[in-house]
């Protein structure tokens, strides 16, 4: 089991990331009122692990704030590598992991070499689609759901 360390959103593409102690998570807006939350293409919410971020920073030889990655949620204690199709319970909401959050050229715009540092082992995080709305707060627990738990939650 892991926990939530940070929550961030942006009001529009390329806008600065804003930090929150808690946020609503909805089908219409994703995390808070994040500009990417409006898209329903499997990339509604993004999650990155602290451990993967620290590995990338170690390779880069820099100390950067995690929001440089532009992910919505920072977690610790959860390995996100190769988890496509898995379901995470984060606070009171549920997401299905739809794939790797591949780093793009925007990362190098923020720090030279960041794209390369984020590329191995899914360090850039994961993309997710929302399955159940809820609230996320710092220090909330994060767990992978097993199939039996999903059925009892009303998902098949």
Segment 46-55 mean pLDDT: 97
Q: How far is CA 83 from CA 46, 79, 86, 101, 118, in A?
A: 13, 8, 6, 12, 17
Q: How far is CA 96 from CA 40, 42, 89, 106, in A?
A: 13, 9, 9, 25
For 53-83, the pLDDT digits (tens) are: 999 999 999 999 999 999 999 999 999 999 9
**Residue 101, pLDDT above cutoff 60:** yes
What structural domains does the chain harbor? 2-152 (2.40.33.20)
Residue 14: pLDDT band (50, 70, 90) is: confident
Q: What is the mean pLDDT of the chain?
A: 90
8 Å CB contact between 25 and 46 = no
pLDDT at 25: 94
Segment 21-47 mean pLDDT: 84
Residue located via tokens 């620290």? 54
pTM of the complete model: 0.92
């Amino acid at each position: 089991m892991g926990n939530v360390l940070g929550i961030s959103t942006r009001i529009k593409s390329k806008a600065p990331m804003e930090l929150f102690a808690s946020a609503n998570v909805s089908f219409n807006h994703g995390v808070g009122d994040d500009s990417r939350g409006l898209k329903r293409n499997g990339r509604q919410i993004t999650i990155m692990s602290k451990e993967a971020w620290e590995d990338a920073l170690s390779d880069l030889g820099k100390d950067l704030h995690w929001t440089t990655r532009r992910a919505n949620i920072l977690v610790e204690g959860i390995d996100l590598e190769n988890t496509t199709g898995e379901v995470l319970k984060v606070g009171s909401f549920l997401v299905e992991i739809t794939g790797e959050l591949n780093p793009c050229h925007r990362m190098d715009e923020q720090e030279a070499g960041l794209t390369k540092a984020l590329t191995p082992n899914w360090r850039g995080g994961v993309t997710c689609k929302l399955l159940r709305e809820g609230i996320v707060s710092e220090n909330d627990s994060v767990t992978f759901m097993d199939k039996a738990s999903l059925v009892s939650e009303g998902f098949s």
